[in-house]
A and B are shown apart, each in its own frame.
Chain A
Amino acid sequence: MFEARLVQGSLMKKFMEAIKDLVKEANWDCTGTGISLQAMDTSHVSLVSLLLRSDGFDPYRCDRNISLGINMESMAKIMKCASNDDVITIRSEDHPDNVTFVFESPNQEKVCDYEMKLMDIDSEHLGIPDTEYDAIISMPASEFQRICRDLSNIGDSVKITCNKDGVQFSAQGDTGIGKIALKQNAVIDKEDGQVSIELNDPVSLTFALRYLTFFTKATPLASTVTLSVSAKNPVAVEYRVDDIGYIRYYLAPKIEE
């Protein structure tokens, strides 16, 4: 059988919110390592990849590797039934037709049990090679969310330019141009609230704001976001989640014809 109990159940609610608008259905792959998911959006422009390590659960039991084929909208609806301070347990048999979500209140006075039918999903797994990125930008996740929101008022795309001066996000539309420049903070240690840039080569790439905005739904999961940018390659946007794992998004760039 498979059983994973997450004491901080609100994390599962947040992971759900971070993927449900991008992906309609996906396999949650459960192994001894933990729970992972990789799925593209329906237009094959972006990809989400997440890992919830087994040691982030208490307890975690996985007798046999299984894939839980899940409709995200249905699971998101069920997750909304959990309170923020509930403990969430995910449970299924070795050859599952359905999955059970159990929500326990902290004082154990209320226990909710939701059973959901599984789907047979023939998913395509993409191999993402290790890449040497031209620039790796770390910044407060809330700052990145704000930039995406503000520039969405100006245009459909954002041009991310990174050089020795810092990083610039710019958008252009019918009404004009918007530019937001961030300088690297002078700090020795990388801390929350800081902008840090690891620059190998100056780089400039354009991305659809619509998708970056979907990615920022992960903001409640982490204080910092990392953007890994490389010439003419997809950008990797990563939110590391304390004590359990990460959610990463990849987005193909827009390229001049």
Chain B
Amino acid sequence: TPIQNDLQEFYAIV
């Protein structure tokens, strides 16, 4: 089963 990624894996906090 695919695992759910965290959005912060993609976008940095600014």
Contact = CB atoms under 8 A, between A and B. Distances in A.
A257 B7 contact: no
B14 to A, nearest CB: 4
A254 B6 CA distance: 9
A209 to B, nearest CB: 12
**A interface, how many residues as a size bin?**
20 to 34
Contacts of B8: 44, 126
Interface in A117-132: 124-129
A45 interface: yes
A256 B2 contact: yes
Contacts of A206: 2
A125 B14 CA distance: 6
A158 B10 CA distance: 20
B3 A257 contact: yes
A234 B10 CA distance: 8
A253 B3 CA distance: 9
B3 A252 contact: no
A46 interface: yes
A40 B3 contact: no
Contacts of B9: 252
B14 A126 contact: yes
A127 B10 contact: no
B5 A127 contact: no
A45 B13 contact: no
20 contacts: A44-B6, A45-B4, A45-B5, A45-B7, A46-B7, A47-B11, A126-B12, A126-B14, A129-B11, A234-B7, A234-B10, A250-B11, A251-B7, A252-B7, A252-B10, A253-B5, A254-B5, A255-B5, A256-B3, A257-B2
**Top 8 A-B residue pairs of the complex, sorted by shortest distance between their CB atoms:** A254-B2, A127-B14, A252-B5, A126-B11, A252-B7, A124-B13, A256-B2, A44-B6
